[in-house]
Chain A
Amino acid sequence: MKNVVKALLLSVVMGAAIFALAGSADASHTKLDVVAPSQLTVGDSVDIQAVLHAAHGGEAIAGATVTFYMDGSFGGIDGEVILGQAITDENGIAALNYQPRAAGEHQLRVEYLTPGASEPEETTWSHTVTGATGQLYMSSAGVQIPGLNVWLLIAVVASVWVILLSVALRVVAIANAGSGATGAR
């Protein structure tokens, strides 16, 4: 009987220990912080640094994959867009280059999923982007030939339409000549 009670107690203790361990796996063992300026201008190029370290002790976690998300809207559908992924270095830092394209208040979400865990460790970074939203891509290639530009195209199209207008004026002349002939009859 004593042995049975001992066995039962041992089972309860072991079960509780396993449950506690499993619970702490889901609870966070790691801590994720974002280091980046909160004020940016459209077209700036900044490195967003996600710093990953152990929740207890603060040791840097190297070789972990961190994912960066941003709110996005395309074709009337809102959702999250993956900006990219980066792997932490020996200091636990995963850096992603970020170039804001639109002015306003934005928020990035950074996520790290501990191996074996079901819930990711995540943090958000809010920032304000100022400046005018516009085209950021500037072609560096190309050969500028003097006179060969948009104005030449406009001039050609305008010339064609002027000639077409002259044809229309001929029709008016036909009508006028006809009314003169009718009046003379």
Chain B
Amino acid sequence: MGRYAYSRQLQDGLIVTGMRDRISWGLYITTFVFFIGISHAGTLISAILRVSQARWRTPITRMAEFITVVALVCGAMFVIIDLGRPDRVLNVIIYGRWQSPIIWDVLAITTYITASVAYLFLPMIPDLALFRDRLAGRASAWRRWLYDLLSVRWQGTPLQWRSMHAAITTAMILIIPIAVSVHTVVSWIFAMTLREPWNSTIFGAFFVAGAIFSGIATLIIVMAVLRKVYHLEEYITEKHFVYLGYLMAAFTLIMMYGNISEYLVTGYKMEEGAEFHFRQLFLEQFAGFYWFYFIGGLVVPGLLILLPWTRNIWGIVAAAVLVDAAMWVERYFIVVTGFRVPLMPYDPSSYAPSWVELSVVAAGFALFALLITLFVKVFPIIAVWEVAEDLESAEFVPAAGRLPSGAAPEPAGGGN
């Protein structure tokens, strides 16, 4: 359906969408911003927790890194879809100007994709070598070839371990500022314009916080699904959900603070255009979206995590689903309400997504799920060597152990 819808768009042009001259961004840019946001899952869990040496992260690191790479690919795809004609991507290279936030965005996202792929690949090398050696006679020829190629002749020598640790350290330190810069620059595409609702100095920080927030939520959902499907209860425990839930609860507070700070300051001055925006956002056309986002996406998830009765896997997954839905809705009303505030004395325009946009966006989410599934089928879903290291430390520090004594980590999700 999504492919047919996109073929219609390619054939007839963007006229088949609900976007017009006054509201020229809609579902596609909303989904682009959302996907770039959830890509921060990998950076947060994998890089920040690795830097801070939080050892509980090890079983979920790889999933977070998968999400990052897949979300970036899907997000970048939506920008190309939004262009109408994909060949116009070349115009960015041919006619791009260094002074344009669009160029900054292209640079930031391409750098982030490259760094994320490197950061996914590096810690996976020992596990790929494990697959290469253990599945030598069992895997199909193409998979053997793939593991052989990607394991880069890993033999586990001290020199190789040193080189790998050095590369991971460099990448994890580098990827944090890159990730922060990516969502800051995405916010600048809006904030560098003179449109009333986007004319904000905290947009960058607000977007980065929102990105990490939705990234954690997506990670919790993916963790819950993979845990169930691949029976990873032994490795991914309630403790992982609760710890991630605490992080998410902290971000509900940060997001509430951002909302209050932004709207109180703007509303107190109530410059031209702000009144129109406040009416459409809080009372009229977009009030349903906004209040769902604030109450359903910030207040309720915070309560689900903080109240002891719901602080369990189901409660935290429910909170994560609400957060992801609300963050997508937040991106939607940021994009559309910004364009709706009239710049000149004309009647405000309206936007309603067409079936083509809805189908393409649904296909985008389906592609996200498909790519995660394919990754999980082919590559080790859990960082085996890191979990093994954890087990070794657990032998010396029993209190730190979470896995049952003697439980050998096995590649889950792939290898058979």
- Selected contact of A167 from candidates B107, B154, B171, CB within 8 Å: B171
Contact across chains for B98 and A177 when beta carbons are under 8 A apart: no
Is there a chain A Cβ closer than 8 Å to B157's Cβ? Answer: yes
Contacts of A39 in B (CB 8 A): none
B132 to chain A, nearest CB (A): 11
Binds A, one of B160-168, B189-197, B259-267: B160-168
Contact across chains for B154 and A171 when beta carbons are under 8 A apart: no
Contact across chains for B99 and A170 when beta carbons are under 8 A apart: no
Binds A, one of B41-49, B114-122, B278-286, B341-349: B114-122
Which residues from 167 to 190 on chain B have a C-beta closer than 8 Å to any C-beta of chain A? 167, 170-171, 174, 178
- Selected contact of A178 from candidates B99, B111, B154, CB within 8 Å: B154
Convert A159-173 into 0s and 1s, putting 1 for each residue whose CB lies closer than 8 angstroms to a CB of B.
011011011101101
Q: How many A-B residue pairs have CB under 8 A?
A: 69
A165 to chain B, nearest CB (A): 10
Bound Cα distance A1, B181 (Å) = 102
Is there a chain A Cβ closer than 8 Å to B152's Cβ? Answer: yes
Contact across chains for B152 and A174 when beta carbons are under 8 A apart: yes
Bound Cα distance A182, B167 (Å) = 22
Binds B, one of A17-25, A49-57, A150-158: A150-158
Say whether, besides A171-B152, A174-B125, A179-B153, A164 and B167 are in contact (CB < 8 Å): no
Say whether, besides A160-B178, A161-B111, A178-B153, A167 and B167 are in contact (CB < 8 Å): yes
Contacts of A174 in B (CB 8 A): 125, 152-154, 160, 163-164, 167
Closest residue on chain A to residue B103 by CB atoms: A153
Convert B118-156 into 0s and 1s, putting 1 for each residue whose CB lies closer than 8 angstroms to a CB of A.
100110010000000000000000000000000011110
Contact across chains for A181 and B155 when beta carbons are under 8 A apart: yes
Say whether, besides A157-B107, A160-B178, A170-B166, A178 and B157 are in contact (CB < 8 Å): yes
Contact across chains for A177 and B174 when beta carbons are under 8 A apart: no
Contacts of A171 in B (CB 8 A): 121-122, 125, 152, 163, 167
Contact across chains for A153 and B98 when beta carbons are under 8 A apart: yes
B205 to chain A, nearest CB (A): 20
Say whether, besides A150-B99, A157-B107, A171-B122, A178 and B155 are in contact (CB < 8 Å): yes
Contacts of A154 in B (CB 8 A): 98
Contacts of A175 in B (CB 8 A): 152-153
Is there a chain A Cβ closer than 8 Å to B159's Cβ? Answer: yes
A163 to chain B, nearest CB (A): 5
- Selected contact of A170 from candidates B107, B114, B155, B164, CB within 8 Å: B164
A148 to chain B, nearest CB (A): 12
Contacts of B167 in A (CB 8 A): 167, 170-171, 174
Looking at chain A, what size class is its interface with the partner chain? 20 to 34
Report how many residues on chain B are interfacial, defined by Cβ distance under 8 Å.
Answer: 26
Contacts of B152 in A (CB 8 A): 171, 174-175, 178
- Selected contact of A160 from candidates B125, B154, B164, B174, CB within 8 Å: B174
Contact across chains for B163 and A163 when beta carbons are under 8 A apart: no
Most chain B CB neighbours (cut-off 10 Å) among A157, A164, A182: A164
Chosen A-B contacts, 20 in total, with CB atoms closer than 8 Å, are A150-B99, A153-B98, A160-B115, A160-B174, A164-B118, A164-B174, A166-B170, A170-B163, A170-B164, A171-B122, A171-B125, A171-B152, A173-B163, A174-B152, A174-B160, A174-B167, A177-B153, A177-B160, A178-B152, A181-B157
Which 10 pairs, one residue from A and one from B, show the smallest C-beta to C-beta distance? A178-B153, A170-B167, A175-B152, A181-B155, A150-B98, A177-B159, A173-B163, A181-B157, A177-B160, A174-B163
Instruction: Please list the residues of chain B having a beta carbon within 8 angstroms of any beta carbon in chain A.
Output: 98-99, 104, 107, 111, 114-115, 118, 121-122, 125, 152-155, 157, 159-160, 163-164, 166-167, 170-171, 174, 178
What 17 additional pairs, Cβ within 8 angstroms, besides A174-B160, A179-B153? A150-B98, A150-B99, A153-B104, A163-B170, A168-B118, A170-B163, A170-B170, A171-B121, A174-B125, A174-B154, A174-B167, A175-B153, A178-B152, A178-B157, A181-B157, A182-B153, A182-B155
